[in-house]
A = this chain, B = another copy of it.
Amino acid sequence: MSEQKISEAIHTLKHAGVRITPQRHAILEHLIQSMSHPTADEIYKALEGKFPNMSVATVYNNLRMFKEVGLVKELTYGDASSRFDCVTTEHYHVICDLCGKIVDFHYPGLDEVESLAESVTGFKIARHRMEIYGVCPDCQTKH
Report which A residues bind B (CB closer than 8 A): 74, 76-79, 82, 92, 94, 96-97, 103, 105, 107, 110, 113-114, 116-118, 120-137, 140
Contact = CB atoms under 8 A, between A and B. Distances in A.
A124 to B, nearest CB: 5
Q: How many copies does the complex hold?
A: 2
Contacts of A82: 78
Given A77-B76, A79-B76, A113 B107 contact: yes
A86 to B, nearest CB: 18
Nearest to A135: B124
A127 B123 contact: no
Given A94-B123, A126-B134, 9 more contacts: A76-B79, A78-B82, A94-B125, A103-B121, A107-B116, A118-B134, A127-B132, A127-B133, A129-B133
20 contacts: A74-B78, A76-B78, A76-B79, A92-B117, A94-B117, A94-B123, A96-B123, A105-B120, A107-B117, A113-B132, A117-B132, A123-B134, A123-B136, A124-B140, A125-B132, A125-B134, A127-B132, A127-B133, A128-B130, A128-B132
